[in-house]
Amino acid sequence: MIINLKPLRHLVMEHVQLTMVLKSLPYIYSVPELLSQTHHLIDKQRLLEAHINLRDLENLRDDVLCRLQSGGDAVELVQQFFSGVQDLSEELGRTIFSMASSASSLASSDPTLLVSAIRIIEREEYLDTETFHRSPPPGRPKCWRESFFRALEKGVSERLLESGLDNPNVSPWSLERHFQGLQDRLLGELQAASSILAPCFPPHYELSRNVAIMCHRALSHHLRDILSQDLAHPCLYSVLRWVMTVYSSKDLMVLPDLSSEVDLLELGPLIPLEMMEEQLNRFTRSVRVCLSQWMEKALEAEYTDWFRDQEPERDQDGFYVSSLQQLIMQMLSENVQLAAGLGLTLESRVRNVAIHEMDNCLLWLREALVKYGIEHMKNRTAPAYYIPYLLATINGCAALSSSLSYLQPESQVDSPFRKAGPCLQISLDKTQKKACHLLLEELQTELQPLYLQIPSRLWLLGSDTIHTIRDKVEEFSQNLFKARAPACQFLLVQTERILAIEYVKALIHGKLVCKNPGERLLLAERMSGDAEVLSATLGRLGLGDSSLCIPLILALQEMFALKDPSMLSLEVSGLMTAFPDISDEHVIALLELRGDVSRDIRHGVTSMMQHQALLLPQDYQPIFISIPVPAHTPPFCLHPSSCA
């Protein structure tokens, strides 16, 4: 029975639906006119009226579709008939979204229109929410608020980045100008959002906060594009400076007028941390390359200057000076200062680079000094100003020493950012001493021919060899006094050491052998006279309290003044106490000068020395280690003295 009534039930339903449609026909007939009228209202920007008509049309369409309650040809026919409603909705949406791209200017010129657009969005948001838990009608949800904000962000981004960087070979000047423009436009966007736009929006839109997020996002993408280019070192610094200091400064995102609405912590970093780390490493590598190239050119120019036929410059005190070290220090300091403006992390990295480059520079300078000395030894008349340029280098190192603490401060020793690196003061001392040793080698080279006459028969008979040596030392010392302290004192002390070394070396390498007690006494007297002349010379050099040269000569003189050779062991024992680094080979070579020392006495002396071997005191400066001993005489060659 129920099965037989089923067709009847369908028929009744269709009848009811058609009845409802017929009742709606007067409204349906007005749809085309209403569509046209609404289009006209949209064109005239009478948005609220247009939205009212749109809602009427949507309600009519939805009501008819709801009454039909089934698919089929009828529903499809209704949807086709009302298709213009959806087009109208999209047109109104496009009109509203187009306002978003120029919202700031619209808020200034016609805030009512913008407020109307926002009210429409609010109504559509409410309708989207109503249909969330049921089957939505056609075109729902519209999500106009999200679309409006997307359009707003697009407009913000376009205005913010209206002046791009199309030139891949961007210059530091153009980049700085670009960033200044960015800064001005960013401030304009944020201030407009806060003072002009925000009053047109409901508070829950948090417009100032959202515009800040939009700007932040646009800048982040833009900066990544810039950093993806092969930027020169100054350009890379400009980008990092803007990101790390300018953007988060009181001149921009922490501006007092904005600080209550813009939260930098919420915005996060402009550049992702991984990318920022990569850029910091990139900048550090760039600094190292620039410093290395600059130093290489400066050092090459300095080495070329050493061979000029023109003496180096002098300072106000008359000392020869080299500007190289100070120029390099200035270059390094400027780079460290620039990096310090971008934070402790980058400052520490650049400081480490500067330390290593300074160490490389000093190493190169030492190598250049060695080459300079070799070239001079080939022809001792060239370069023309060999000694003045050595003095200029010594004084340059002295001046640089006072500046090293800036690059390598003691406070940085335990810093977590500090990497293990070279000690610049040690490297600088090595460089200065290398120049000092070349200067002293020049003195030693001039003295060595004079010392060949000590000892000799002519010397024993009263030659003025020691006076010639004195004159040469005093003449050369005028150069030493042109070195600034403490290098000057070092040079003077080393001069005394050279005098002692060359004197003892002359004694043990000489061919003289005393033939009788008279010659031994004369030898001792000549040594005493030499010690007196050298003592006066050292006194004029400011080394009156000599603890090396004069005591050493006088101690050796006692060995020759001794009349009884059997007492030599006692004399040598005292000599060992004063100069514990003397070897038995040195003593035997000195004893050969006496000409009366038997094999047994020599054996006794060497045995005593082996039993009395002393440890060198910590503050003792070895002297005999620098004095070579003559080669051993072959066993079958007897010395003339042993054949007496």
Q: Examine the domain organization and report whether 123 and 261 are in the same domain.
A: no
Asked whether the bond before 312 is cis by omega within 30 degrees of 0, the reply is: no
Same domain, 251 and 291: no
Whether residue 492 is found in the same domain as residue 607: yes
* Summary mean pLDDT of the chain: 86
Domain-embedded: residue 362: yes
**406 and 522 part of one domain:** no
pLDDT at 538: 94
Note the pLDDT of residue 644: 39
What are the DSSP E strand ranges found in 138-283?
none
Q: Give the domain CATH number at 343.
A: 1.10.357.50
Does the pLDDT value for residue 17 go beyond 60?
no
Half-sphere exposure of 154 (CA within 13 A, CB side): 11
Full domain range(s) for residue 404:
276-431
Cα–Cα dist 249/242, whole Å: 10
Spatial distance between the Cα atoms of 401 and 404, rounded to a whole number of angstroms: 5
Q: What is the pLDDT of residue 635?
A: 47
Q: Same structural domain for residues 292 and 250?
A: no
Dist CA 425 CA 412 (whole Å): 15
Closest CA to 328 of 284, 371, 294: 294
Measuring CA to CA, which residue among 549, 400, 363 is closest to residue 473? Answer: 549
Task: Say whether both 136 and 177 belong to one domain.
Answer: no
Q: What is the pLDDT of residue 66?
A: 72
Instruction: Report how far residue 527's alpha carbon sits from residue 466's, in angstroms, rounded to the nearest whole number.
Output: 10
Task: Note the pLDDT of residue 10.
Answer: 58
Residue in this structure with the two tokens 């005239």, named with its chain if needed: 44
Banded pLDDT at 14 (limits 50, 70, 90): low
- Six-digit token pair at 612? 């009395």
Domain co-membership, 292 together with 339: yes
CATH number at residue 498: 1.10.357.70
Give the pLDDT mean for 73-79.
65
Q: How far is CA 516 from CA 356, 481, 597, in A?
A: 64, 45, 12
603 within a domain of the structure (yes/no): yes
Looking at 125, 151, 177, which one is the last position of a domain?
151
What mean pLDDT do residues 22-33 have? Answer: 64
Q: Give the pLDDT score at 147.
A: 94
Q: CA 40 to CA 32: how far, in whole Å?
A: 12
Q: What is the pLDDT of residues 419-475, one digit of tens each?
A: 556 889 999 999 999 999 999 999 999 999 999 989 998 999 888 999 999 999 999
Q: Are residues 333 and 400 in the same domain?
A: yes
Mean pLDDT value of segment 512-540? 94
pLDDT in tens, 235-284: 999 999 999 988 888 878 877 666 566 777 888 899 999 999 999 999 99
The pLDDT of residue 642 is 45
Tell whether 463 and 582 lie within a shared domain. Answer: yes
421 inside domain:
yes
| pLDDT, mean of residues 120-142 | 82
State the pLDDT at residue 598.
Answer: 92
Residues 425 and 281 in one domain: yes
Domain boundary among 132, 151, 170: 151
- Per-residue confidence at 166, pLDDT binned at 50, 70, 90? low
Please give the DSSP secondary-structure letter assigned to residue 580: T
Q: Is residue 450 part of a domain?
A: no
* Span 185-212, average pLDDT: 90
CB 443 within 8 A of CB 473: yes
- pLDDT-derived band at 638, boundaries 50, 70, 90: very low
CB 96 within 8 A of CB 42: no
pLDDT of residue 369 exceeding 90, the answer is yes
- 3-class DSSP state for residue 233? helix
Residue in this structure with the two tokens 């008819």, named with its chain if needed: 64
Higher-confidence residue of 408 and 396: namely 396
User: Does residue 376 carry a pLDDT above 90?
Assistant: yes
Q: Are 574 and 488 in contact (CB under 8 A)?
A: no
- Distance of CA 430 to CAs 23, 366, 396, 426, Å? 108, 8, 13, 6
Instruction: Write down which residue in 271, 298, 326 finishes a domain.
Output: 271
Mean of pLDDT values over 512-539: 94
The average pLDDT across 4-20 equals: 59
Give the pLDDT score at 160: 92
**pLDDT (0 to 100) of residue 568:** 93
The residue with greater pLDDT, 324 or 139, is 324
With cut-offs at 50, 70 and 90, classify the pLDDT of residue 575.
very high
What confidence tens digit (pLDDT) does each residue in 588-631 have?
999 999 999 999 999 999 999 988 877 888 888 899 999 999 87
- Is 445 a member of any domain? no
For the segment 506-518, the average pLDDT, to the nearest whole number, is 92
Flag whether 23 is in a domain. Answer: yes
Residues 267 and 280 placed together within one structural domain of the fold: no
Q: What is the pLDDT of residue 560?
A: 93
What would the two tokens of residue 296 be?
Answer: 């290489």
The DSSP secondary-structure symbol of 635 reads: T
Q: How many domains does the chain have?
A: 4
Residue type, 512: L
pLDDT of residue 1: 47
Q: Is 558 exposed, middle or buried (0-12, 13-18, 19+ CB in 10 A)?
A: middle
Confidence band for 335, pLDDT divided at 50, 70 and 90: very high
Instruction: Convert the pLDDT of each residue in 170-196 to its tens digit.
Output: 788 889 899 999 999 999 998 899 889
Average confidence (pLDDT) over 41-46 = 91
Range of lowest pLDDT (127-141, 466-480, 573-587): 127-141
Whether 412 and 379 map to the same domain: the answer is yes
- Under DSSP, is residue 559 helix (H, G, I), strand (E, B) or coil? helix
pLDDT of residue 69: 60
Average pLDDT over residues 71-94: 76
CA–CA gap between residue 524 and residue 553 (Å, rounded): 10
Question: What's the CA gap between 417 and 284, in Å, rounded?
Answer: 14
Residue 440 belongs to some domain of the structure = no
Residue written as token pair 């070396």: 505
Q: What is the mean pLDDT of residues 26-39?
A: 76
User: Considering the domain boundaries, does residue 8 fall inside one?
Assistant: no
For residue 218, with 0-12 CB atoms within 10 Å meaning exposed, 13-18 middle and 19 or more buried, which class applies? buried
The predicted-structure confidence for 381-406, as pLDDT tens digits, reads as follows 889 999 999 999 999 999 888 888 88
Chain length of the chain: 644
